[in-house]
Amino acid sequence: MQHIYYKGTDETKPTLLLLHGTGGNEESLIGLAKEIDETANILSVRGNVLEHGMPRFFRRLAEGVFDMEDLIFRTKELYEFLQTSAQQYGFDRQRIVAIGYSNGANIAASLLFHYDDALAGAILHHPMVPRRGIELPQLSPTPVFIGAGTNDPMCTAQESEDLETLLSTAGATVTTKWFNFGHQLTMPEVQAAKEWYNSIYA
């Protein structure tokens, strides 16, 4: 997968896996990651699917309606990419913390829904429930931050609440913070994510 890797300066920190929103690329979230932790390794990946020229991490049939077969295939592809990247760059495979926005948050959530050892933690900005009706792996004690929008037209409050319930039931420790700026990722949300991150990894 097309990506950027930066080696961090503090080996005690996790590796930040950056997953952009629809139409973004591997450059999009670098500034955000530096805001969260400028000393951690960064692995920033570009989604392999194109929708009218816009990179995404999996296909959708309509807005908010996911192509499940492709979601499962792309989730596995990303899972395997994490494995080979850890070997290539020499970072700890067991200590990857995803930071995803929108479509990137959805593939990060899908990693958590399908694998018990994909992520050591996740910051999900405006995620949805990637897939319903499956039993999740045991996620304990994976810490997850959800940045949700009370008035997000795309990733509704109900989706955020359902996602929190599903992940918590699977054993994850979920912290949800609410904002009222629609689907936008704003500085107050980034600051809340940073506080959460520092409480666990600093």
Q: In sequence order, what DSSP letters do the residues of 50-72 get, joined into one string?
A: EETTEEESS-EEETTEE-HHHHH
Residue closer to ligand MLT by CB (options 13, 56) is 56
103 binds ligand MLT (CB under 6 A): yes
Specify whether the CB–CB gap between 133 and 166 falls below 8 A.
no
What x/- string results for residues 127 through 146 when contact with ligand MLT is judged by CB under 6 A? -x------------------
Distance CA 120, CA 127 (A): 18
Please tell me whether residue 110 binds ligand MLT under the rule CB under 6 A: no
User: Binding of ligand MLT at residue 63 (CB under 6 A)?
Assistant: yes
41 touching ligand MLT, by CB under 6 A: no
| Binding flag, residue 154, ligand MLT (CB under 6 A) | yes
Could you tell me if 48 and 20 are in contact, meaning their C-beta atoms sit under 8 angstroms apart? no
Q: Which of the residues 28, 44, 85, 102 is marked catalytic?
A: 102
Residue 54 makes contact with ligand MLT by CB under 6 A: no
Which helix (DSSP H) or strand (DSSP E) does residue 144 occupy?
Answer: strand 143-149
Q: Which residue in 110, 126, 152, 160 is the catalytic one?
A: 152
Distances (CA, A) of 106 to 6, 33, 90, 199: 24, 18, 27, 24
Kindly compute the dihedral angle of the four CA atoms of residues 58, 31, 83, 85, in this order, to the nearest 10 degrees: 120
Q: How far is the CA of 3 from the CAs of 52, 61, 108, 152, 196, in angstroms? A: 21, 26, 16, 29, 26
Active site residue 199: no
152 in active site: yes
Q: Which of 28, 102, 110, 160 binds ligand MLT (CB under 6 A)?
A: 102
In terms of CB distance, is 34 or 60 closer to ligand MLT?
Answer: 60
The residues of the shown chain that bind ligand MLT, judged by CB under 6 A, are: 21-22, 60, 63-64, 102-103, 106, 128, 154
Catalytic residue positions, numbered: 102, 152, 183
